[in-house]
Amino acid sequence: MSEDFQGGLDPSLLLQARQFYHAYLQTHTKQPQRPLGVAIDPQTYRGKLIFTRKPVLLLTEYFIPWDCLESEST
């Protein structure tokens, strides 16, 4: 979302979230829907793409917005 948000985020979580996003793009090659972000658990690194406006997160999950996934992405 913002540089402040990214600055406070564990880089390994951001990397894992980007990997989820890129895996989605590779499997949905025809007009993929843009997710709002990724919900990820910092202990298990399990995550899911979020497409709904009001995601329900578990207490241990972090939400990483789409613009953080795209910035500095390869």
68, 1 contact by CB (below 8 A): yes
pLDDT reading at 3 higher than 70: no
Q: Which sequence spans correspond to the domains of the chain?
A: 3-70
Who contacts 8 (Cβ-Cβ below 8 Å, separation ≥6)? Answer: none
| Mean pLDDT within 25-49 | 91
71, 6 contact by CB (below 8 A): yes
Cα distance between residue 13 and residue 28, in whole Å: 23
- Other CB atoms within a 10 A radius of the CB of residue 61 amount to 20
**Confidence grade of residue 27 (pLDDT, cut at 50, 70, 90):** very high
**Confidence grade of residue 72 (pLDDT, cut at 50, 70, 90):** low
Q: Which amino acid is at 40?
A: I
pLDDT reading at 1 higher than 90: no
